[in-house]
Each structure stands twice: as C-alpha cells, then as structure tokens.
Structure 1
Amino acid sequence: MSASGVEAGRGSGVVRGERLSALAQQHGALVALLVLALVASFSFDSFATGDNIENLAMTSSFLAVVALGMTFVIVTGGIDLSVGSVFALGGVLAAWGSRYGALVALLLPLAVCGLIGCVNGLLIARTRLAPFIVTLAAMLAARGLMLNITDEGATTYLVDKETVFVHLGQGRLLGVGAPVWITGALFLAGAVALRRTRFGQNVYAVGGNEDAAALMGAPVARTKITVYTLSALLAGLAGALNAAWLASGVTILGYGMELDAIAAVVIGGTLLSGGLGFVSGSLVGVLLLKTIQNIINQIGSLDSAYQQVVSGGFLVVVIIAQTWLARRRRVA
C-alpha cells in the first residue's frame, strides 16, 4: 500500500474515532437508561405498568424543568447553586398568590425568582464574581425569604382545589398530566433556542472560550445575565407547578435539588467546563436518576439513601468517561 493510502486510512480512522467518541458522549446516558429500564421491566412486575410510568413521568417533570435552565448555565461554563431554594420559594409564592387568582399565582413566583436570577447574572457578568459564590449567596437569600414568608416554615399556604391554577399541576390531557406536557414543550423550545438561534450560538461561544467570544463580538455579559435569569425563572416555574400539583406550598422541598439538577445535566453529556451540552441529554439524565430511584423503591428493602449513593457513583463514572473522551478527541 502506498504512503498516501496509509495516511488516508489513518485519517479515516481518526474521523471514525472522533465520531464514536462524540456519539458516546451524547447518547451514552440514553443507552444506559434503555438498558436499565429493560432490566427493571423483567425484574419487577410493577415497573412497566401504566401507573408507575405515569408516576415516574410526573415526578421527573419538576426536576427536568430545573435541569433545563441549569443546562444553559453549565454550557456557558457557570454553575447555579440557588435553584433548589428558588424552587421552594417559587412554590410558596405560588401557593400564597393563589388566593388572589391564577394569574397572580403564576406571575408572582416568576417575577420574584426571575429577579433573583437577574441579580445573579449581573453580579457574575458585570463584577466578575465567581458563579459558585454568587449563587451560593442567592441560595441562602432565597431560602431565608421563603422562611420569612412562612414564619420559619410554620405556615403552609394551601391552594384552593377549585381554582384554575390547580389544573396546571393536576389537570390531564390525553391521559397525561399537565406538568408532563408543559415540560415537553419547554424542552422543545429549549432545544430550538440552544441549537438553532443566535442566542444559543452565543451560549456555546461563551462556554467554549469567553475571551474569543468577546473578540468575535458576542454579547458575553448579556448572555450570562440571560442564562442565569432563565435558570431562576424555570426553577420558579417548576416550584409553582409543584405547588399546583400538591395544592400547597411545601416549605421543606428543594433541598439538594441543585445537586440533582447538576448531576442530571452532566450525566446527559454536558461538560462542566462549558462549551458543549445537549438539552435532550439533560432530560435523559433526569429520567435516568429518577429510574434509579424508582428501582430502589421497587426493591423495598433498600433505604432511599442508596439512591444518592448510586447517583453519586454514576456521576463520578460519567465525569471520568467525559474526561477520557475529551482527551481522546483532542489527541485525535
């Protein structure tokens, strides 16, 4: 074989290796989810039932909405630790506002939570403070505000089940709960925004190389402000939907949700370093985490804490795999 033929074969092998690495990074979580669901279907009679699947979809929808906003933040190379507290605050504000009508119940948490996200974005983008510090402070502030509204958690605001607002959480369409439909619509819009718009291109550019993005004319500060505002808005919306589903603003919710959202996003193929991510992958990551939790509940003899152990171990494996795949692609 000639030297040119050898080089051509080597070049095609490199391209093939890059494609396989990219596919593994993007769809590895989906393969794991399908295998896990298949094994669980044969192992537990109640896993593949309609009621269990519906319950899995409903409980996944709220975390998925939070993870959607987290995807945009992490793709820019940032992090948002405030979403769990913002989720709880959104639920309490929605339940409190439901006394004044469905519009107030929906707009109040969006306005307050969106303002928190906007402040986060301004501090991170304009003063160049570390996202970890800013959003950690926002987490404490949002939780403190929620406790203040509820008298240190002693007051639980109930939602009248006759109001229109309740239908956002308890309504059904074609046999599927309203939050599932809303989550699907949000993910569709998020996928289009991230992959098909100028805003999405800016998000990827900022995460890939912030200085290069600025030199190319990308609005770095505005992009950061937008993604943190979006993250808080979606967390507040998820909290409001959860309040409509439970017909109350439960004050103990949201603890650790930020870690679950980050884990789901990373498991779904989004790099913690930024510049690469997939909205669909985040949804798969949420479903994978919730499926693990569901299987542990199916076993019955295992404590729910095992879900955190398994999720943490799975996250470590995914991060190691992502690092290895990224190095392989660079070497290729």
Structure 2
Amino acid sequence: MTTMPSKTTDPGRIWKQLSQQGVLIALVLLMVFGGLRYEGFITEYNLESFLRYNAMFGLIALGMTFVIITGGIDLSVGSVVALASVVAAKVSGQGALLGFLIPVLVGAGVGAINAGLITRGRIAPFIVTLATLLGARGLALLVSGNQSVSAEYTGNFIQIGQGDFLGFPIPAWMMVVAFLIGIFVLSSTQFGRYTLSIGDNEDAARLMGLPVDRTKFWVYVLSGALSGMAGVVLASQFGAGQPTEGVGWELTAIAAVVVGGTLLTGGVGTVWGTFFGVLLLGMIFNVLNFENGKGVISLSVYWQSVIRGMFLLLVVILQSRLTRKSSTS
C-alpha cells in the first residue's frame, strides 16, 4: 500500500520552511553586522535609499513568484523594465497618472504576448520569454534611439520615484502595497489556489477542471505589468528612461524568489518569503558598498553580477540536494 508523504517530510514544505527561517536570520545578522561595523549604516538616509532602489527588484520579483509557482519562468522582465522606462520618460510630460498607466499597460501587453504563446501556442516558457527578452530590448533601443530619454521635470512624474509619502519613499510604498495584495491573492483567493495547484501538478489540475490556461495567462500578464511598474520607478527615480538598464535583473528576481522558499519546479512558495529574499539580496550589496567605502575591498559594479550568479547557483544546488534527500527518505 502506498502512503502519501506527511507535511513534515514533504521536500517542498521542508525547503520553504528552512529557506524562510534562513532568510530572516541572515537578514537580521547582516543588519547587526552593518550597524556595528559601518558608521551611517543604521540611518534614515541609508534606509530610505535602500528601500527606494530595491523597490524595483521587489516589484519584478513579486511577478516572478507567481510565474515560478506555476512551474514557469519569465526571462523578459529586465527588458520589459527597460522598455517601460523609455515609454514612461516619453509620456512623462502628460503627468504622473499617464506616466504611470501607459508603461504598466505596455508591460502587461508584453506579458499577454508571452501568455498567448505559452498557453495557445504550447511553446515552452523559457523559449517564449527568451524571445521577448530580445524583442523588448530591441524595441527599447529603437524607441529611444539607443540613448537615454530624459523625463519631464515640469510635471509631477518625477515625484513617483523621488518623492516621499508620510516620510516613506513612494517606491517603497508601491512595493509594500503590491506585496500585501500579492500575499492576499496567493493565500486567500481562488486564483491563488489555482496557481499553486497548477505548479504542483498541471495535468491533475486540468483533469480536475481548473482553468489552467486562463490562470497562467493572467500570471504572465501580472509579471509584465509589475515589470512595467518597475520601469516607471526607474525612469522617475533617475530622471530618464534607460534602454540599456535591466540586464540580468531576471536573475536577481529569480534568486530572490528561490531564496524566499519557492521551488523552481513550482507548486510551493510564498509571497512574503520573496519579500524577505529581496531585502536579503539588497542588504548584501548594501553591505558590500559600505565595505568598498572602507577601502578594505574594492568590488566594481560588474562583480555584483558575478555575486548574483554565484548566489543563485548556490541556492539552487542546496534546493536540489534537499529535495532529493527528502524524496529519498
């Protein structure tokens, strides 16, 4: 007689619990280390700068969480951010509302293209989103003329990225509100239950009559829209659309999602775990920047890509070994 694995021995649940606890512990330890070692680390200025900048990564990681939970992948997010930032800068003279909505709709449109090809064309998400990564990047360079596009400072568009609300950076508010909505959607709605079921076993979900294709469609649209929102933050924060920005951001998003306890194979994950994964990765580079300032080490910005890649590889190896051992036992 075959028995179902208990919750305590299920590899996905074990990975999620260990990851989330490990992320929180590592985050606290890094903050304590930074506060003791660096002058100006635990200050309002550093906290605001940290949250303002990492809000962009938080937004794309949130969308990536839903995608990966379904067992998919979205490699186009970085290019969509670049494209949306150019569009945002182009329409920034129309005010904050249109400067926000139009790039988000552009991102959602790219997500809809991804979704249509994946659900209707039955093409692997890796191939589809790799193609749109190249397409969106090329379109961003084409629209911008291969140069930065200055945003209008006469309106209130710039306030989206550089302004504060109730003493808190507006991009950080955007990220926190988006994550709170994401937590509610994944844990308390039918759409969230469908998302988890599809990632756990797509064939079984289809046999149960769940709207698999429709759910996956909206998951990719969500990822595109959140990437578009990150593009708005990028353009308003730096005062220009950046067609060459966002390279490798998909790896940062994937790393944050996986570190937060989401299995790359899908079916297991939490939104709040991703939130702390984003904060941990951001804190690591914040500490490295302060260390550079002390002159003990000297790591160029290119080393950040190397560290992100190595960090992601390490986490994936740990995830794979833990899952394999738990399944064997």
TM-score scaled to structure 2, two decimals?
A: 0.91
Q: How far has the Cα of 1:74 moved from its partner?
A: 0.4
Select 1:158's aligned residue among 142, 147, 150. 150
Select 2:299's aligned residue among 303, 322, 331. 303
Q: How far has the Cα of 1:309 moved from its partner?
A: 3.4
Q: What percentage of residue pairs aligned between the two structures are identical?
A: 44
Q: How far has the Cα of 1:258 moved from its partner?
A: 0.9
Select 1:50's aligned residue among 38, 44, 49. 44
Question: Separation in 2 of the partners of 1:20 and 1:214?
Answer: 27
Matched with 2:73 is 79
Select 1:220's aligned residue among 212, 221, 229. 212
Bigger Cα displacement from structure 2, 278-287 vs 308-317: 308-317
Question: Separation in 2 of the partners of 1:251 and 1:115?
Answer: 18
Select 2:137's aligned residue among 140, 143, 157. 143
Q: Which runs of 5+ in 1 are unaligned?
A: 1-13
Paired AA for residue 314 in structure 1: F
Question: Separation in 1 of the partners of 2:125 and 2:60?
Answer: 17
Bigger Cα displacement from structure 2, 239-248 vs 322-331: 322-331
Question: Separation in 1 of the partners of 2:16 and 2:220?
Answer: 27
Paired AA for residue 195 in structure 1: S
Matched with 2:29 is 35
Matched with 2:237 is 245
1:274 equivalent in alignment to 2:266: yes
Question: Separation in 2 of the partners of 1:47 and 1:20?
Answer: 34
Distance 1:51 1:103, change over 3 A: closer
Bigger Cα displacement from structure 2, 240-249 vs 265-274: 240-249
Select 1:322's aligned residue among 299, 315, 319. 319
Bigger Cα displacement from structure 2, 30-39 vs 300-309: 300-309
Q: How far has the Cα of 1:327 moved from its partner?
A: 3.6
Q: Which runs of 5+ in 2 are unaligned?
A: 1-5
Paired AA for residue 281 in structure 2: L
Question: Separation in 2 of the partners of 1:147 and 1:318?
Answer: 34
Matched with 1:6 is none
Paired AA for residue 223 in structure 2: S
Q: How far has the Cα of 1:103 moved from its partner?
A: 3.0
Question: Separation in 1 of the partners of 2:20 and 2:208?
Answer: 27
Distance 1:286 1:103, change over 3 A: same
Question: Separation in 2 of the partners of 1:260 and 1:254?
Answer: 10
Question: Separation in 2 of the partners of 1:310 and 1:90?
Answer: 27
> In 2, are the aligned partners of 1:88 and 1:254 still within 8 Å (CA)?
yes
Question: Separation in 1 of the partners of 2:8 and 2:67?
Answer: 31
3-state DSSP of counterpart to 1:48: coil
Question: Separation in 1 of the partners of 2:327 and 2:136?
Answer: 41
Question: Separation in 1 of the partners of 2:14 and 2:215?
Answer: 31
Paired AA for residue 65 in structure 1: L
Please tell me whether Structure 1 or Structure 2 has the larger radius of gyration of its CA atoms. Answer: 1
Matched with 1:61 is 55
Question: What is the CA RMSD across the aligned residues, in angstroms?
Answer: 1.9
- Counterparts in 2 of 1:49-198, with a 5 A limit? 49-151=43-145, 153-154=146-147, 156-198=148-190
